[in-house]
Amino acid sequence: MFRNKIKLFKLLGFTVSVDASWVIILFLVIWSLAKGLFPSFYPDLSATSYWLMGLLGAMGIFVCIIIHEFSHSLVARRYGLEIRGITLFIFGGVAEMEEEPTSPKTEFFMAIAGPIASLILAIFFGALYQIADNFEWPIPAIGTLGYLSAANLLLALFNMVPAFPTDGGRILRSVLWWIKGDIHWATRLASHISLVFATVIVFTGFVNLVGGNFIGGLWWILIGSFLFNAANASYQKMLMERSFRGKTVHHFMNTNPVTVPSHITLQEFVESFVYHYHYKMFPVVDSTGISGIITIRDVKAVPHEKWRHLVVGRLVQPQSPDNSISPDAPIKEALSKMSKSGLSRLLVIEQGELVGIVTLKDLLEFLALKMEFEQ
């Protein structure tokens, strides 16, 4: 899901990363706090004070979102679910699960842990705000604590909106799952309900835009659009997992892949292979067998005038766990590798030998056909 992310630190066995989009949102939050929220509530302070409050408020909510996601991750671990890590992105954060919860109970407690954590933080910062106000602490400290209390309360309430895959949407799905005992039906219904909520949110954004609240309206539209796309993606992911359940790479691999000799020039490779077969990645072989892969991205990085003199073997990426897979591996593993590596084709390797190629195109065509027959 998140390819452009930066690892920050590791705590309690969880790797915390930040998506590139967070840089944008961090600046916008600091700017909106320093130039809008704090001046309206606490006038007559210096510009330095407002920017300091904005920075502290933004960093504080940053930490609170991490705590929110850690609560999900710890509960997930308690129920035996593996979490790859925690990533902060433009609309908050996400605990990246290796697989879906195995029961309604697991999903319910894992989902509700986040809003509960945010509510506790809201009460904690609210108590500090009261103490700061009673003891007449500096205004920047009072204002920042008040903001963190209110922000965490809003975070808890927003996450309880039944719009899958937010926490509220997952709670809704867990209840529907418990009622009927069918996670597929529960996911479909929760996603459809989420689409309704997302549409209402987008409509609210347009109403705000027409009413003159440009910034607020834009945020509502962005959030609603995100929820709309996320709800669709979550249901499609469930359909994909159901369609490929029990299937391995062996069922979909091409056992006669087109291979490229390592001794030919890049010019020959482009003219005889790329333009002929239209693939973006090819297995490369030499006298000893499979030596690795070559992609059109590798060739494009070489100046055109060198294509006639440079051989394919000079650009080969060695065969590795990132670009290859076993024929007995589940399709879910192949899709995960494709997502992480950005490759749409994987080498299928058995006992060190190339036995085939599995492609994203073939997997998606099978999925489309299966969905068409089942609808």
Same domain as 26, residue 141:
yes
Q: Name the residue range of residue 299's domain.
A: 249-374
In a domain, 365, yes or no: yes
CA distance 114 to 155: 9
CA distance 333 to 351: 19
Average pLDDT over residues 211-236: 74
4 pLDDT tier (thresholds 50, 70, 90): low
pLDDT, residue 20, reads: 67
283 pLDDT tier (thresholds 50, 70, 90): very high
Same domain as 146, residue 14:
yes
Average pLDDT over residues 332-342: 82
Residues in the chain: 375
Give me the percent of the chain exceeding a pLDDT of 70: 87
In a domain, 173, yes or no: no
Encode burial over 320-356: b for 16+ CB neighbours within 10 A, e otherwise: eeebbbbbebbbbebbebbeeeebebbbbbeeeebbb
Same domain as 277, residue 144:
no
In a domain, 201, yes or no: no
Same domain as 255, residue 150:
no
The structure tokens listed for 354 are 């190339």
Last residue of a domain, one of 133, 160, 187: 160
Look at residue 24 and give its three-state secondary structure: helix
Contact at 8 Å (CB) between 331 and 249? yes
CATH code for position 324: 3.10.580.10
Same domain as 51, residue 148:
yes
The mean predicted confidence, pLDDT, of the chain is 83
| Domain count within the chain | 2
Same domain as 152, residue 9:
yes
In a domain, 167, yes or no: no
- Which of 2-6, 31-35, 206-210, 310-314 is predicted most confidently? 310-314
In a domain, 168, yes or no: no
Last residue of a domain, one of 142, 160, 178: 160
Same domain as 47, residue 155:
yes
The structure tokens listed for 1 are 């899901």
One-letter amino acid for residue 278 of the chain: H
pLDDT, residue 148, reads: 93
Relative to beta strand 260-261, strand 281-286 is: parallel
Beta-carbon contacts of 11 under 8 Å, excluding residues fewer than 6 positions away, are 70
pLDDT, residue 1, reads: 46
Same domain as 255, residue 153:
no
CA distance 76 to 95: 9
In a domain, 20, yes or no: yes
Relative to beta strand 83-89, strand 14-19 is: parallel
pTM to 2 decimals? 0.66
Q: What are phi and psi of 346, to 5 degrees?
A: -125, 140
User: For the residues of 26-56, what is the DSSP string, one character each?
Assistant: HHHHHHHIIIIIHHHHSTT--HHHHHHHHHH
Look at residue 84 and give its three-state secondary structure: strand
**Quick one: which of 163, 162, 160, 156 has its CA closest to 230?**
163
Same domain as 24, residue 140:
yes
Same domain as 156, residue 12:
yes
One-letter amino acid for residue 206 of the chain: F
One-letter amino acid for residue 148 of the chain: L
Contact at 8 Å (CB) between 6 and 78? no
Average pLDDT over residues 61-88: 79
The structure tokens listed for 258 are 């087109």
In a domain, 233, yes or no: no
Q: pLDDT tens across 250-282, in order?
A: 888 889 989 999 999 999 999 999 999 988 889
In a domain, 91, yes or no: yes
pLDDT, residue 116, reads: 93
CA distance 348 to 326: 6
Q: Roughly what angle, to the nearest 10 degrees, separates helices 104-134 and 167-180?
A: 150
pLDDT, residue 2, reads: 45
The structure tokens listed for 16 are 């915390």
Q: pLDDT tens across 157-204, in order?
A: 888 877 766 788 888 888 888 988 877 788 878 878 888 888 888 888
Whether the per-residue pLDDT at 125 is higher than 70: the answer is yes
Give me the percent of the chain exceeding a pLDDT of 90: 17
Q: What share of the chain is helix, strand, coil (3-state, %, to 5)?
A: 60, 15, 20
pLDDT, residue 98, reads: 60
Q: pLDDT tens across 35-74, in order?
A: 888 888 888 888 898 899 999 998 888 888 888 888 888 8
Relative to beta strand 260-261, strand 92-97 is: unpaired
First to last CA, the chain: 27
Last residue of a domain, one of 160, 182, 200: 160
